[in-house]
Amino acid sequence: MTTNQKIFLKEKGVNFEEQSKKILKIVYPHPVSLEGTNNLDELIETAREYNTWGKNVIIKVPMLADGSGLKAVNILESEGIKTNVTAMMSANQAFLAVTAGASYASLFFNRIRDSGDDPVEVIKQSRAIIDEGGYKTKLIVGSIRNPNDVVEIASAKPHIITIPYKILDQMPYHETTVKTLKEFEQAWEEFKAAEKTIVTV
């Protein structure tokens, strides 16, 4: 599970710490990525605080243009605090995240596409970097806008896909599946109506 500032903006009238702890408890023992500030010093300070909120806390660290996020990753991971480098758009950025020692690295699928690059190829390249280099980092892919995105992402074999609930809710549905099952149900009802009755003496 992952959070970000835009997601929390929708949670109007809640306390960040209280809501985060509630989520951590519900999801435990599975990891929850919490996002804070983009300022290096504040990021490290808040990361240390967030890490006390639960054993499944993962600290989101932005891929800052000046490289300072990578420094934060190195510091936090050396303290045993797991990190998730976020807002990544390229395999170059993924390479930097994994070599900095990040536990997780997050590519933004549709934002990569919006920038004009092929997100599937970026995922494949990033996964190859991790596998061939023997890095510990798990590759996460998010920024999903429709169910077809999930198929494209899965084919590129990241370790983890973060799927919004509204998309996950759509995935079991297919119009032809619904039609087919209705036909089967109707055939079963017709069969039962004409079924031979067995009389036990």
Look at residue 198 in the predicted model and tell me its pLDDT: 79
**Is 60 known to be catalytic?**
yes
Give dist(CA 165, CA 128) in Å, integer. 29
Look at residue 66 in the predicted model and tell me its pLDDT: 94
Q: Which of 60, 71, 124, 166 is catalytic?
A: 60
Residue holding tokens 């390249």?
125
Look at residue 186 in the predicted model and tell me its pLDDT: 96
Look at residue 79 in the predicted model and tell me its pLDDT: 97
Give dist(CA 53, CA 3) in Å, integer. 15
Give the residues of the chain that fall short of pLDDT 50. Answer: none
Domain boundaries along the sequence of the chain: 5-171
pTM of the predicted structure, to 2 decimals: 0.90
Look at residue 10 in the predicted model and tell me its pLDDT: 84
CATH topology of domain 5-171: TIM Barrel (3.20.20)
Look at residue 170 in the predicted model and tell me its pLDDT: 96
Residue 105 · residue 126 · CB < 8 Å: yes
* Cβ neighbours of residue 74 closer than 8 Å, sequence gap 6 or more: 100, 101
The type of residue at 147 is: P
Give dist(CA 87, CA 63) in Å, integer. 6
Look at residue 6 in the predicted model and tell me its pLDDT: 81
Look at residue 127 in the predicted model and tell me its pLDDT: 98
pLDDT digits (tens, 9 = 90+) for 19-47: 999 999 999 999 999 997 888 889 999 99
